[in-house]
Amino acid sequence: MGIRSLPDLVDDYRCFQRIRARSLITREMDLGPLKWINPTTLLPLVLFMREQRELPYIPPYSSSVANYIHTVMTRPESAVGPYSSYIPVADLPSDQKDGNNILKGHLIFIKMVWDMVERMHSST
């Protein structure tokens, strides 16, 4: 998958907005029809799900999407293995110094991946 364009990212966020609006109206979070979920939809959705724990949750019919959401929601950051295909959602602490340390660790990981991709690209 290549770099996503800004309109695609905006559409992903709008998907979250539709889910949120429908959930607040129906008083249940029905994700049944989701066949795929992008990070730009998932990130705000995870936060919304944590804020609205009292809403009944209907998981996606797709077991792979349901498992992905479940993993991101429940797996602690420290339990992510070296070959995971995602960076888990990390709650930032209220103390900015502690939050900066978490962000620094993620940025180091992203730089390592970027460097690896650049080396692979330059060797082809």
> No. of H helices and E strands in the chain?
4, 2
77-95: pLDDT as tens digits = 545 555 555 556 666 667 7
* pLDDT at position 112: 76
Give mean pLDDT, residues 17-38.
94
Element (H or E) spanning 58, and its range? strand 57-58
pLDDT attached to residue 91: 64
pLDDT band at 17 (very low <50, low <70, confident <90, very high): very high
Q: Would the pTM count as exceeding 0.85?
A: no
- Surface-to-core class of residue 9, CB atoms within 10 Å of its CB (0-12 exposed, 13-18 middle, 19+ buried): middle
Per-residue pLDDT at 113: 73
**At which residue do the structure tokens 């502690």 appear?**
98
The domain ranges of the chain are 6-81, 92-124
